[in-house]
């Protein structure tokens, strides 16, 4: 059975890609066999909406497209830095936090098809947007076989976030920066505690093995200074440390 995309939906997707600086005519000329708008559509369908027609596999491919695009960007623009610095930068640039912020600049939430429960879950929104953006990268690459159509709009975003990270102590390693702050001022280290996600968050059944989130709090002097979430404990700790660093720096 063959599927076709609704013309109204295609017009919506054209508007989205136009926001990203990608012209419909150029995209369709690149693919001699015809630009697959259905693939673009699928990249923006969350698994909570359909178990058979969703962006799960495209997000898997998009993760590699993203990492390669960001690695090339860093090598070209920051090639004078050590591999350790480049790896630290890339870790932050490909994080859900950064991707969700980029997705929001293009108002991606308006184009993602999700269940009502997922749309109303503010805590899951960041992961949802990050996954959709990765899936969209995969759909664009599969259609064009050319990273240029990802890097055209991604590179300026990466430049913006890289400059912010480079201005942060310890090159965006918030755990190290927080440790330096607490040791320098009070000669003690913060404590990281793994905590459970709120019951109402778990009850909506949106979490799968692939998208399970960890939650971590950072404590100092019997006070919680920050709470972070991520697909790994390390990512959640970094987010919690970033929040705590901002709070404690102003304390």
Q: Distance between terminal CA atoms of the chain? A: 62
Is 6 among the catalytic positions? no
pLDDT tens, position by position, 110-149 = 999 999 887 777 768 889 999 999 999 999 999 999 999 9
47 φ, ψ (degrees, to nearest 5): -60, -20
Q: Percent helix, strand and coil across the chain, each rounded to 5? A: 65, 10, 30
- CA-closest candidate to residue 218, choices 250, 247, 197: 247
**Domains of the chain, with CATH numbers?**
7-167 (1.10.1520.10), 174-249 (3.30.160.20)
How far is CA 211 from each of CA 6, 97, 131, 232, rounded to the nearest angstrom?
A: 29, 14, 9, 10
Among candidate residues 59, 96, 134, 239, the one labeled active-site is 134
- The angle, 0 to 180 degrees and rounded to 10, between the axes of the packed helices 83-93 and 148-166 is 110
pLDDT tens, position by position, 96-114 = 989 999 999 999 999 999 9
The pLDDT value recorded for residue 201 is 54
Is 134 among the catalytic positions? yes
Among candidate residues 63, 85, 101, 247, the one labeled active-site is 63
Residue with tokens 């709090």: 217
Q: How confident is the model at residue 1 (pLDDT cuts 50, 70, 90)?
A: very low
Q: Starting from the edge strand earliest in sequence, which strands make up the sheet with 223-230, in order?
A: 191-195, 214-220, 223-230
pLDDT tens, position by position, 17-57 = 999 999 988 888 887 778 999 999 999 999 999 999 999 99
């Amino acid at each position: 059975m063959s599927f076709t995309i609704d013309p109204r939906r295609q017009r919506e997707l054209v508007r989205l890609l136009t926001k990203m600086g990608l012209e419909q005519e150029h995209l369709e000329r690149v693919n001699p066999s015809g630009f697959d708008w259905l693939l673009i559509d699928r990249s923006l369908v969350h698994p909570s909406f359909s178990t058979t027609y969703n962006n799960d596999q495209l997000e898997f491919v998009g993760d590699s497209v993203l990492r390669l695009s960001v690695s090339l960007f860093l090598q070209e623009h920051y090639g004078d830095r050590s591999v350790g610095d480049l790896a630290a930068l890339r870790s932050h640039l490909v994080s859900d936090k950064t991707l969700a912020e980029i997705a929001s600049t293009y108002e991606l939430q308006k184009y993602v098809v999700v269940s009502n429960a997922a749309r109303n879950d503010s805590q899951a929104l960041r992961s949802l947007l990050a996954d959709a953006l990765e899936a969209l990268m995969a759909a664009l690459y599969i259609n064009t076989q050319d990273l240029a159509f990802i890097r055209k709009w991604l590179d300026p975003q990466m430049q913006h976030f890289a400059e912010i990270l480079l201005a942060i102590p310890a090159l965006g390693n918030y755990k190290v920066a927080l440790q330096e702050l607490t040791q320098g001022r009070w000669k003690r280290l913060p404590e990281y505690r793994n905590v459970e996600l709120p019951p109402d968050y778990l009850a909506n059944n949106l979490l799968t093995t692939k998208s399970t989130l960890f939650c971590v709090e950072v404590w100092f002097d019997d006070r919680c200074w920050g709470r972070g979430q991520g697909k790994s404990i390390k990512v959640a700790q970094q987010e919690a440390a970033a929040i705590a660093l901002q709070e404690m720096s102003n304390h």
